[in-house]
Structure 1
Amino acid sequence: METHARSMRHLVEESEAAGVDAELPRLFQAMADRAVAAGHGSEGYPAMVHQFRAGPATGTGEGTDADAGARLVAKYISTWNERDPRRRRALAAEVFTAHAEYVDPSVQAVGLRAIDDHIARWQTQFTEATFQFGEVHGHHNSVYFDWSFGLSGESPIGRGWDTVELEHGRIRRVFGFFASRTAG
Structure 2
Amino acid sequence: MNSTDTGVLNAIAHRYIAMWNEPDPALRRALVEELFAPDCVHFTPSREVRGRADMVARVAAAHAQWVAPGQYLFREVPDADGHHGTVRFTWEMVEVATGTAVSVGFDFLVLDEAGLIVSDHQYIDR
TM-score with structure 2 setting the length? 0.87
2:84 corresponds to 1:140: yes
Deviation at 1:66, TM superposition (A): 2.3
Match of 1:164 among 90, 109, 120: 109
Per-residue Cα deviation, 1:95-130 (whole angstroms, up to 9, x for no partner): 111111110112111111111111111112113221
Deviation larger for 134-143 or 116-125: 116-125
Q: Give the gaps of 5 or more residues in structure 1.
A: 1-55
**Paired residue for 1:177?**
123
Deviation at 1:136, TM superposition (A): 0.3
RMSD: 1.4
Separation of aligned partners in 1, 2:12 and 2:90: 14
User: Matched residue pairs, number?
Assistant: 120
**Paired residue for 1:28?**
none
More strand by share: 2
Separation of aligned partners in 2, 1:103 and 1:142: 15
8 A contact 2:4–2:81 mirrored in 1: no
**Paired residue for 2:74?**
131
Query: SS where residue 139 of structure 1 aligns?
Result: coil
**Paired residue for 2:40?**
100
Using CA pairs below 8 Å that are at least 6 residues apart, which structure has the higher relative contact order? 2
TM-score with structure 1 setting the length? 0.61
Q: Give the gaps of 5 or more residues in structure 2.
A: none
8 A contact 1:72–1:170 mirrored in 2: no
Choose 1 or 2 for highest CA Rg.
Answer: 1
Separation of aligned partners in 2, 1:88 and 1:155: 25
